[in-house]
Amino acid sequence: MRTAVNPTIHFRIAALLIAVGIASAGWFVSQGLERLRMADRSVVIKGLAEQDVQSDYATWSLTFRRAASNFMEVQKALAADREKVLSFLGDAGFTTEEIEVRPLLVRDAFSAEYANANQPFRYTGTGLVLVSTTRIDTVESAALATDPLTSQGVVLDTGNGPRYELRAFNEAKGPLLAEATRNARAQAEAFAADAGARLGPLRNANQGVIQIHGSTSQGWDDGTSRSKRLRVVSTFEYELR
């Protein structure tokens, strides 16, 4: 003989099971959100590194000018000036491999499309001798001793100073990036300690751009400074636990 079950009991049991399920789901969801929130905790730090280095290559353009009313007069004067420049560079210790002689250029002012007939000289010309070398000291010394050329009538263009370069850039790049990385991690560890957290693994890294400045300039290197300052700002993201 089967005993009849009160439908009310079934309803209460079902309601209890649903309540337990909702509560359990809520607990798991809350735990999941907590883990997600913890997983998203991170800190973004910029690591800075700077280093002063010396140039390892120099180029020196010696441009000279002449002007006259006669073409051949200008041509001969420029040729004579070129010999004086070459003699000066030879006395300064430069080799033929370090010296490049460019062709002489003579222009007729009256042949220009909008020529001015009142030009004081019809012909103007320029000559160029280029020095390229790794001997930085020799270039620097010679550039400060061009008075003999001036006394011989050689008219050098203004701004004829050497331009200095850093060609061994890759050799300096590695240590600089390593220093920026150490600097960033030290900052991240200090931040984590202040926040009452532990520093986790590195998530992302961007090495940034290495900038080259002249030692006496706040802007980009214009080549006039023998000493260079390398600067890099790298960005790192660390997980916090």
Q: What is the 3-state secondary structure (H, E, C) of 130-167?
A: EEEECCHHHHHHHHCCCHHHHHCCCCECCCCCCEEECC
pLDDT at 6 > cutoff 70: no
pTM across the whole model: 0.73
219 pLDDT tier (thresholds 50, 70, 90):
low
pLDDT at 193 > cutoff 70: yes
What SS3 class is residue 122?
coil
What the chain holds in terms of domains, given with CATH numbers, is 41-55+166-241 (3.30.110.170), 57-165 (3.30.70.2970)
Share of the chain above pLDDT 90, in %: 61
Query: What value does the mean pLDDT take over residues 147-151?
Result: 94
Contacts 24+ apart (CB under 8 A), 28-37: none
Instruction: Pick from 91-95, 160-164, 202-206, 219-223 the range whose average pLDDT is largest.
Output: 91-95
pLDDT at 135 > cutoff 60: yes
Predicted confidence (pLDDT) per residue in 51-108, tens digit: 999 999 999 999 999 999 999 999 999 999 999 999 999 999 999 999 999 999 999 9
Share of the chain above pLDDT 70, in %: 78
DSSP code for 226: S
Cα separation of 80 and 70, whole Å? 16
What SS3 class is residue 74?
helix
Beta strands in the chain (DSSP E): 42-54, 57-68, 99-101, 105-108, 123-133, 163-165, 199-206, 210-214, 227-240
Least confident of 6-20, 28-42, 164-178: 28-42
DSSP code for 202: E
Cα separation of 9 and 7, whole Å? 5
Half-sphere exposure of 147 (CA within 13 A, CB side): 3
- For position 137, what pLDDT does the model report? 96
Residue 95 near residue 201, CB atoms below 8 Å: no
pLDDT at 19 > cutoff 60: no
Predicted confidence (pLDDT) per residue in 116-134, tens digit: 666 788 899 999 999 999 9
Cα separation of 222 and 158, whole Å? 16
For 190-203, letters b (16+ CB in 10 Å) and e give ebbeeeeeebbeee
Q: Mean pLDDT of all residues in the chain? A: 84
> Cα 122 to chain center, whole Å?
45
φ, ψ dihedrals at 141, nearest 5°: -65, -45
11 pLDDT tier (thresholds 50, 70, 90):
low
